[in-house]
Amino acid sequence: MVALCRHQLVHLNAAGWATVQQWPWDDEARACLAHWAAQRLPLVVTQQRDGVPDDRIALGLPAPLQWQRRRLALQVPMRGVLYCDEFPRAAEVTGLLPLRTRGAWQTLLKTLAALGVAPRVYGSFGWQRLTRLDYLHADSDLDLRLPVADAAMADAVAAALHTSAFATPRLDGEIVFPGGSAVAWREWRLWRERRADRVLVKRLRGVAMERGEAWLVEHQPC
């Protein structure tokens, strides 16, 4: 059984790609999938909704500009998984940033490292770094996956992001707790400052609006 987490990358074996490519896709989707299979590019774990069989994994392929930024949804048998991987470390996307912002970016990364956080980059920046295909456009956010140990660490991370001199592109992303529950860092900050009475918590098998803090110590799949 493959242990799944949100924003986890999955590489398929030959049998997995054969299963995916035999479905009745249109020509555009088929061309995109053929490229992914030929280049051995990963897919990403998506929400495992009710109805997905236990022997299958729900995965996604967010296509680049070349294929109209389509989002392809797939269900792949567990036996079709070769191995799992992670999105690039934050420092690995530095070369994709405008020169004028790189100093502030590196300062932010040092601040996060001092807090014990090792961010990963998903979204358009992460996919462009992984595939070398064109994902970025003028309005692309920089999406960070920020694993933390507890609420106090999450507070420090949110404060560091809020006060950072890094302004372009816009910093987005999620704070991820040990049980796998995740909250957008801006929403976390508002909730902790009591400017919101509920917070949207994302999990592998769904999302929920939470009022109290009991979910902070839950131990659910990623």
65 phi/psi in degrees, rounded to 5: -55, -30
Q: Which of 55, 85, 134, 141 is catalytic?
A: 141
Alpha carbons 120 and 148: distance in angstroms, whole number: 12
The pairs formed by 205-210 with CB atoms below 8 angstroms and a separation of 24 or more are: 205/47, 205/48, 205/49, 205/50, 206/47, 206/49, 207/47
Alpha helical stretches, state H, 58-150: 102-114, 123-131
Tokens 């939470």 -> residue: 210
Q: Which of 143, 150, 172, 197 is catalytic?
A: 143
Active site residue 172: no
Active site residue 143: yes
The set of catalytic residues is: 141, 143
